[in-house]
Amino acid sequence: METNKNKSFKGIESAGLVIIACFIVALCIYHFVFGNPANFMNDDPNNHPLPGNLLGTIYKGGVIVPVIQTLLLTVLALSVERYFTIRASFGRGKLATFVAEIKQALTKGDLEAAQALCDKQRGSVANVVGATLRKYREMENTTDLTKDQKILAIQKELEEATALELPMMQQNLPIIATITTLGTLMGLLGTVIGMIRSFAALSAGGGTDSVALSTGISEALVNTAFGILTGALAVISYNYYTNKIDKLTYSLDEVGFSIVQTFAATH
C-alpha cells in the first residue's frame, strides 16, 4: 500500500516579504544605530563623526547604505533559510550511508528493507527513492505491460518525483545569485555618488569645503566596502548551496540507476 510522502521543511516561499522586512531593519539600523547623535561631534549627525567612530563614518555613506544593507541582510536571511531547507532535504542520516544501504538492500532484493530505510531517512532523496520503490512494486504486480514498458514507467516515476523535489531545493537561490551582481553594482553607484560630491566640494568657489569633501570620500569608500562584502557573501552562499544540491541530485541519479538496473536484471 502506498504511504504518504515524508514531510520536511519546505523553506520560505515569500522571498518578497523577507526583502521588505530586511529593508525595514536596514532603515532602523541606519537611522538609530549608525545615525545615533552620540556618534558625531556636538551630538549632531550633520557634523563629522567622532575620531575613530566607525558607526558614524558608515552613516556618512549616504542613502545607498540602507539599500546595500538590505541586500546584505537578505543574503544572510536567505542563506540561513536555505541551510535548514537543504539540510532537511538530505534527511536525518548521512546521505552517502543511506545510498549505500539502499543499494545493498536492492542487491538482496529486499524492497521492504529499502522502504524502511526511506521512512527512517526522510528528506527529498528518501521521498524520491520511496516513490520509485512503490512504482517498482506496482510494476512487479502488473502483467499487461512488457518489461521495457515497466522499466520506462519506473524511470518516469523517478524523473517526476525528482522534478517535484528540485524546485523546493533551488527556491530563493536565484535571488541570491542576483544579489551577487546587484550588491557590487549598488556599491559602485554609491562610490560614484560619493566621488561626485567630493569633486563638487573641490570645485566650489572660495576654497575647499572640508566637510563636504570628507563626506563625499566617506560615502565613496563606505559604499565600496559594503558592496564588495555583499557581493562576496552572495557568491559564497550561492556556490555553497549549489554544490550541495549537485551532490544531492548525484545521489538521486545513483540510487535511481540502481533501482532500474535491479528491476532489469531480476525480471
The structural domains of the chain, with segments of one domain joined by +, span 15-266
Q: What is the mean pLDDT of residues 224-248?
A: 93
Position 142 scores a pLDDT of 84
pLDDT digits (tens, 9 = 90+) for 115-164: 899 989 988 889 999 999 999 889 988 888 888 898 999 999 999 998 88
The pair phi, psi for residue 163, each rounded to 5°, is -65, -30
All three cell numbers of 142, joined, read 502488473
Q: Report the percent of the chain where pLDDT is more than 70.
A: 91
If phi > 0 it is left, if psi is from -120 to 50 it is alpha, else beta; for residue 206 that is left
66 vs 107 pLDDT, higher one: 66
Using an 8 Å Cβ cutoff, are 102 and 114 in contact?
Answer: yes
CA-based nearest residue to 223, from 190, 182, 255 = 190
| Burial status of residue 51 (CB atoms within 10 A of its CB: 0-12, 13-18, 19 or more) | exposed
